[in-house]
Amino acid sequence: MKKARAVALNIPDIGIHHPASQQVFAWERWLAHQILALLGRPPVSLVLWNGEEIAATQGTPVARIVLRNRAALYQLIAHPDLHFGDLYSTGGIEVEGELGELLDSLYHSSRSAEGSAAIKHWQSRIFTRPRSNGLDDASGNIHHHYDLSNDFYALWLDREMQYTCAYFPAPAMTLEAAQIAKMDLVCRKLQLRPGERVVEAGCGWGGLARHMARRYGVHVSSYNISHEQILYARAHSEGVDNVEYIQDDYRNITGQYDAFVSIGMLEHVGVEHYRELGEVMHRALTPEGRGLIHTLGRNRSAPLNAWIERRIFPGAHPPTLREMMDIFEPREFSVLDVENLRLHYAKTMEHWLARFEQHASTVEAMFDRNFVRAWRLYLAGSLAAFNSGSLQLFQVVFTRGTNNKLPWSRAHIYQSAEGGEHSDQPL
Amino acid sequence: MKKARAVALNIPDIGIHHPASQQVFAWERWLAHQILALLGRPPVSLVLWNGEEIAATQGTPVARIVLRNRAALYQLIAHPDLHFGDLYSTGGIEVEGELGELLDSLYHSSRSAEGSAAIKHWQSRIFTRPRSNGLDDASGNIHHHYDLSNDFYALWLDREMQYTCAYFPAPAMTLEAAQIAKMDLVCRKLQLRPGERVVEAGCGWGGLARHMARRYGVHVSSYNISHEQILYARAHSEGVDNVEYIQDDYRNITGQYDAFVSIGMLEHVGVEHYRELGEVMHRALTPEGRGLIHTLGRNRSAPLNAWIERRIFPGAHPPTLREMMDIFEPREFSVLDVENLRLHYAKTMEHWLARFEQHASTVEAMFDRNFVRAWRLYLAGSLAAFNSGSLQLFQVVFTRGTNNKLPWSRAHIYQSAEGGEHSDQPL
């Protein structure tokens, strides 16, 4: 248990020294005011360790952030993005009020304050470069997150263990249905035909590969560097023909394929490797091959939240469309279709968070209380990020620039499958 | 007549001096071979002014390029992209064989040769910066092309005078139907609702504005700096409520709108003004406003063909998606949907070229023979550029990054209108 926790949340003692008394000094009060100002003056108050409240200067307060000790104040001012998460996880900060509302209001206030030079200065200070994702590092970074425990993810993911944005053409769909709808959306965009060969870069627990092989009659080679996920995928695909799970890096993909698909891997590739990914696609695709990349994204370039990048997804980066062009331009791939599914990820996060909360006591027994608090913050924070427009979800369909075998419209994506199982209800 | 021609095709005498004899010197034969090599050795032969043929070194020849005099050879080697067009227009070059096939083969051979350092060097030599599109210049550049003559364009455009890519969800549609389908595609992507206010940047002859007002019940303010087009648009919109045509630059747009639309204007804006366009959109759009930009594009940055940029579309540039991000990123617009309609523009060009050829004698009477040859080359060359993947056509839908009033799927775009008039037939 302790070992699992150490893998998941490797929070160091940052060793800031501070006066031992409970007294609040004048400069500490000033620092507390600065924190609120730097956050864009959200409708949130800060409660200090002696019970003193630094009130919000505008709006009806949605929550109170309680700093349990003065170390929390110093850590927060030193690196707010990183330490808010660590302090919340370890109990150095408590939130009185609804965590989701607090996070929503923090996203909105920091957006409205983004014109201020102070915030820009502060943001530049908290910028942290994502870790390297060279071949050696990539395995460690992915191990950190995805090998946590299949049992843990099974508690709150859908039956197919899809740990990526679902697709809710009708927003009242269940998570299970929406994850199947996502897989069908991907397969339709790729126009898979029976007998075709598909290569998947980053296959998670193997659900999409199974789905493509079973429902679309294609041959799938799926790559993943996570040992735990590959074992799970193989165990759950017994009896499914034409699926091969390969524990290897996407850069080692061999063979020629009619379609290339990558769902939720690009976040872990690193911008400096995008051109390399384009080379892999160039090698792997037939002249009329199609591809789809599904990824977290940004409207404007910014690193992932520092705490999430350090504690949850080491090395992760959500690219802008501009950054993604490093994949496509050098080998003159042609972007055919981009769809932004931002609100679908917000809804996915709502489902995950609700399921996670249902199993919080089980998670606490598997790990510990800090782990539960960290994951709660991560899921609620991601929900707020998608709802506020801070994060995007892009699906990009592409082909070679010389391929003229293209559909004349995207209507085929929105035709109901026979039996209506995957009907896309417009709103 | 002569005046109109001078506006359209301002071909200077470049004054290259050359030996007067008909004899072909050894270095001229070498230069002719160099031209074929630099074009990536297309299946095309060069016939020199003395009748001597420089044969294609590979493939079955699809056409012969006849150089009528030695000046043609020197001009071609000096600036092939620019002078091929001028020489063809003025008869210094003749094409024996099908012009379209020749242009297709030139596009394909230059693509396959693109890895060679020689071609890259050659391409860098022919690079010409598009003209400036500052407020003063923009009017002159647009006058050059669009004020040519409404009667001329009426000969070969559709009834609604749409001089932009049509939409052929069924490729056998007529041009008239496909241009209406294009307008409906745009309106559906923008989710126009009766009573909403729409601003259009660059309205051509006003067809889309009329269509939006009549069929979708919206109020439209359409901007265009072409005097001839504005007069035409006003004359053809009598009795249509809620359409206002304004002869002014897009940078002078005032007011607040539920939708921003721009079809075929971005090509003329100039990359250095994209941020300014984003500012205009930021000022003009309501918090939940949607926008659509429809533009020529590239998979990888390159200037427009030099001859087309000089003689047909002064100042024009087809942007990459990367370049377009200068419009959206600074004000954090969120790209919701990108569709690449490249082959639809090839089909549109096919229709235009066929109609143009039907009226070639009328065009010659309106202008002269050189004008007919220049426009034939421009239309056939554009057709080849879209078919070969050298040019793209992007439709980009966007909204503010904070707008959460988004459709849950794009299925609404593909639902047949009642009566089926605008049905999108999938293939």
Give pLDDT tens digits for B67-120.
999 999 999 888 888 889 999 999 999 999 999 999 999 988 877 654 445 544
Domains of chain A in sequence order: 9-126 (3.30.1050), 135-420 (3.40.50.150)
Q: Is the CB of residue A125 less than 8 Å away from at least one CB of chain B?
A: no
Tokens of A27: 């400069």
C-alpha distance from A165 to closest chain B C-alpha (Å): 14
Count Cα atoms within 13 angstroms, Cβ side, for B334: 29
Condensed to tens digits (0 to 9), the pLDDT of residues A235-256 reads: 999 889 899 999 999 999 999 9
pTM attached to this predicted model: 0.89
Which residues on chain A are in Cβ contact (under 8 Å) with B333?
A: 299
From A320, A332, A402, residue closest to B325, measured CB to CB: A320
Mean pLDDT check: name the lowest of A197-201, A323-327, A397-401, B104-108.
Answer: B104-108
Q: What is the mean pLDDT of chain A?
A: 87
Q: Is the CB of residue B239 less than 8 Å away from at least one CB of chain A?
A: no
The answer to whether residues A84 and A145 touch, using CB atoms and an 8 Å cutoff, is: no
Q: Is the CB of residue B287 less than 8 Å away from at least one CB of chain A?
A: no
What is the reported pLDDT for B315? 83
The answer to whether residues B259 and B270 touch, using CB atoms and an 8 Å cutoff, is: no
> What percentage of chain A reaches a pLDDT higher than 70?
84
Which residues on chain B are in Cβ contact (under 8 Å) with A408?
A: 168-171, 343-344, 426-427
List the one residue out of B111, B139, B97 whose CA is nearest residue B39. Answer: B111
Name every residue whose Cβ is closer than 8 Å to that of residue B5 and which is 6 or more positions away in sequence: B367, B368, B370, B371
> What percentage of chain B reaches a pLDDT higher than 70?
84
Q: Is the CB of residue B34 less than 8 Å away from at least one CB of chain A?
A: no
Partner-chain contact A411 B425, CB within 8 Å: yes
Q: Is the CB of residue B321 less than 8 Å away from at least one CB of chain A?
A: yes
Test mutation, A408, A412, A414, chain B, max B CBs within 10 A:
A408
Q: How far apart are CA B268 and CA B277, in angstroms?
A: 12
Partner-chain contact B408 A170, CB within 8 Å: yes
Name every residue whose Cβ is closer than 8 Å to that of residue A315 and which is 6 or more positions away in sequence: A130, A131, A132, A133, A137, A138, A141, A268, A270, A309
Q: Is the CB of residue A120 less than 8 Å away from at least one CB of chain B?
A: no
Residue A114 has pLDDT above 60, yes or no: no
Partner-chain contact B401 A389, CB within 8 Å: yes
Condensed to tens digits (0 to 9), the pLDDT of residues B154-172 reads: 999 999 999 999 999 999 9
Q: How far apart are CA B169 and CA B424, in angstroms?
A: 5
Q: Is the CB of residue A407 less than 8 Å away from at least one CB of chain B?
A: yes
Partner-chain contact B299 A335, CB within 8 Å: yes
β-pair partners for B198: B220, B259
Is B329 in a helix, a strand, or coil?
A: coil
Condensed to tens digits (0 to 9), the pLDDT of residues B174-216 reads: 999 999 999 999 999 999 999 999 999 999 999 999 999 999 9
Q: Is the CB of residue A416 less than 8 Å away from at least one CB of chain B?
A: no
Q: Which A residues 373-392 touch B at CB under 8 Å?
A: 387-389, 392
What is the reported pLDDT for A44? 94
Test mutation, A193, A299, A395, chain B, max B CBs within 10 A:
A299
What does each C-alpha distance from B288 to A209, B212, B216, B404 come to in angstroms? Answer: 38, 19, 18, 8
Tokens of B383: 């057709």
Residue B62 has pLDDT above 90, yes or no: yes
From B403, B404, B415, residue closest to A426, measured CB to CB: B415
Which residues on chain B are in Cβ contact (under 8 Å) with A415?
A: 426
Other CB atoms within 10 A of residue A218 CB: 23
What is the reported pLDDT for A43? 94
ipTM of the complex: 0.89
The DSSP element (H or E) to which B221 belongs, if any, is strand B219-224
How many residues are listed for chain A in this entry? 427
Partner-chain contact B335 A334, CB within 8 Å: no
Q: Is the CB of residue A287 less than 8 Å away from at least one CB of chain B?
A: no
Ranges assigned E (strand) in B73-149: 93-97
B303 versus A330: which is more confidently predicted? Answer: A330
Q: Which A residues 162-181 touch B at CB under 8 Å?
A: 168-171
Test mutation, A292, A409, A416, chain B, max B CBs within 10 A:
A409
Partner-chain contact B344 A408, CB within 8 Å: yes
Average pLDDT over residues A175-184: 98
Q: Is the CB of residue B345 less than 8 Å away from at least one CB of chain A?
A: no
Reduce the secondary structure of A320-363 to three states and give it as a string. Answer: CHHHHHHHHCCCCEEEEEEEECHHHHHHHHHHHHHHHHHCHHHH
Partner-chain contact A408 B320, CB within 8 Å: no
Q: How far apart are CA B103 and CA B98, in angstroms?
A: 9
**DSSP result, B149-211:** -HHHHHHHS-TT---S----SSTT--HHHHHHHHHHHHHHHTT--TT-EEEEE--TTSHHHHH
The residue of chain B with its CA nearest to that of A423 is: B411
